[in-house]
Amino acid sequence: MSVSVLEIDGFLLASIQESLEDSVALQLRRDLLEGLRRTKAPGVLIDVSGVDVVDSFTARLLSEIGRAARLMGAVTVLVGLRPEVAMTMVGLDLELRDVLTELDVERGLERLRHRARADRKREW
Partner 1 sequence: MPLRVEADIVLARKHARELAAALGFGLLEQVEIATAVSELARNVIQYAGVGEIVLEPVVEGSRRGLGLVCRDEGPGIADVDLVLAGGYSTGRGLGRGLRGSRLLLDEFDIATAPGRGTTVRGRKWLR
- Of 29 and 113, CB closest to partner 1: 29
Which of 54, 74, 99, 105 lies at the binding interface for partner 1 (CB under 8 A)? 54
- Of 89 and 109, CB closest to partner 1: 89
User: What are the helix (H) ranges across the chain?
Assistant: 22-39, 56-72, 83-92, 105-123
Which of 12, 16, 20, 33 lies at the binding interface for partner 1 (CB under 8 A)? 20
State how far the Cα of 43 lies from the Cα of 53, in Å rounded to an integer: 25
Q: Considering just the CA atoms, what is the radius of gyration of the chain in Å?
A: 14
84 binds partner 1 (CB under 8 A): yes
Is residue 85 within 8 Å of 53, Cβ to Cβ?
yes
Is residue 111 within 8 Å of 102, Cβ to Cβ?
yes
- Of 72 and 90, CB closest to partner 1: 90
Stretch that binds partner 1, among 31-39, 86-94, 98-106, 115-123 (CB under 8 A): 86-94
Q: How far is the CB of 63 from partner 1 (least distance, A)?
A: 12
State how far the Cα of 35 lies from the Cα of 95, in Å rounded to an integer: 25
Q: How far is the CB of 21 from partner 1 (least distance, A)?
A: 5
State how far the Cα of 122 lies from the Cα of 8, in Å rounded to an integer: 24
Binding residues vs partner 1 (CB under 8 A): 19-23, 52-57, 60, 82, 84-85, 87-88, 91-94
